[in-house]
Amino acid sequence: MTSEQTTTFDLSASFKAYDVRGIVGESITAEIVEAVGAAFVDVLQLEGQTIVVGGDMRPSSPEFSKAFANGAATRGASVELLDLISTDELYFACGFLNRAGATFTASHNPAEYNGIKMAKAGAVPISSETGLKDIQALAEQYLNSGSIPAAGARGLISVRDVLKDYSEYLRKLVDLSASRPLKVVVDAGNGMAGLTTPAVLGDTLLPKLPFDIVPLYFELDGSFPNHPANPLEPENLRDLQAAVIEHGADIGLAFDGDADRCFVIDEKGEPVSPSAITGMVARREIARAKAQGEETPSIIHNLLTSRAVAELVEHDGGRAVRTRVGHSFIKAVMAKEGAVFGGEHSAHFYFRDFWNADTGMLAAMHVLAALGEQDGPLSELAREYEPYVSSGEINSEVEDKPAAVERVRQAFADEDLTIDNLDGSTFTANDGSYWFNLRPSNTEPFLRLNAEATDRATMERVRDRVLSLVRA
């Protein structure tokens, strides 16, 4: 940074509730990142300690990683550069090494974006309530003064590779060596799963597992030449679905750009809902925790997951804990409850043995283990965990969102149901035939509907009735 300063910096456009995201060259630059690295060290009081810094395959990530490291070193922290990492590799490094850290990624956002996800030692998340606003304010102060003052002693910058440690750690959590042979198509979307999949599920670093991995878009390319690395959008799953059919595969896995989320496709090319994956993994984690002497293991699920999840958890002797949507809520409740596992409808999966952080790869390994230890196809296995019919999330552009919700409340006033307001408004029929949730977006003029029922006709009737009221 130079002392000649003419711009007044305001980073509020790129600092979000849980991370930093912006357009490269505009709201996120090397100069800004250097100041953020310095502020990160100051706010978390890391002078004299070692932090870890990595990034994904976006073209700006290496430059940003070095700029962040330089800012951090100026303020007296030593830095280990992890080079190319998935977001869950950062969480692994922060937990395994007990160090604070940051990674440069914009997850599934388009190519022109980059961002920063930060964590404290032990992979404890940093949000606007737990330091992110303070980091923003101090970074702005450094930028507007034109320089970062040097600490007593400049930190050292070195390089470290954690990919093998990460891969070995995951394999210890889920032993896949005894699985029946499986053909697995993996769509990395040109994102970081192109690096982590061969390391964890293949034989580039560790002994071969009984899997035939069919790679799809494993080339690391932050321009995303094949499709956006966002498997939440159905059109981004089409290549994987076709490849599963073409290769006669047992399962397909789709990861987002930074590989912290994983979507699953069955042998027929049909998506398996994240709620079903939550139930499948919950069953395994409850059994494992009980085998280790835990009496009633807790499982976290957000309020948009299928009610089948809570029913399964209770049936298996666990305790289901319902939370608001959002990874910061899930992680906080995971820690408070000592929960063994948590799942979201958006395909984020959290594990106590992974420092309460989310990892798409570990969830995928649990699904592979569940499939590989029995003889039936994935479609049959998944059916056990999907007894209800879901609408999926439907967005309606609504100017007056409270008025739209009130119209629904009035229209359903005579129904025998219960309404709760944990996150938006959830309407639950007291006979158990359906439920639906209306949640306003905090950032867009959308009202989001999720509905579930015991049969398709009921779900469609409820869905269409609510949408007609919302969009009136």
Token pair listed for 343 = 């799942």
> Taking Cα atoms as reference points, which of 282, 276, 268 lies closest to residue 316?
282
User: Which residues are CB-contacts of 349 (< 8 A; sequence separation ≥ 6)?
Assistant: 262, 277, 278, 281, 341, 342, 343, 358, 359, 360, 362, 363
d(CA 93, CA 114): 21
Token pair listed for 390 = 């879901």
Residue with tokens 């991370």: 19
Token pair listed for 172 = 């210890």
d(CA 170, CA 67): 31
Q: Are 417 and 430 in contact (CB under 8 A)?
A: yes
d(CA 397, CA 375): 46
d(CA 416, CA 73): 62
**DSSP strand pairing (434-440 vs 341-343):** unpaired
The one-letter code for the residue type at 269 is: G
Is 107 considered catalytic here?
A: yes
Other Cβ atoms less than 10 A from the Cβ of 432: the count is: 11
CA angle 268, 274, 279 (to 5 degrees): 100
Q: Are 250 and 182 in contact (CB under 8 A)?
A: yes
d(CA 398, CA 417): 25
> Taking Cα atoms as reference points, which of 159, 162, 150, 161 lies closest to residue 72?
150
Q: Give the N- to C-terminal CA distance of the chain in Å, as an integer.
A: 54
> Which one from 61, 78, 86, 107 is the annotated catalytic residue?
107
d(CA 167, CA 52): 18
d(CA 448, CA 467): 10
Q: Are 272 and 122 in contact (CB under 8 A)?
A: no
Write the CA distances from 330 to 46, 60, 242, 334, integer angstroms.
26, 30, 34, 6
- DSSP for 120-189, written as a single string: -GGG-B--IIIIIHHHHHHHHHHHHHT-----SSPPPEEE---HHHHHHHHHHHS--TTSPPEEEEEE-T
Residues belonging to the active site: 107
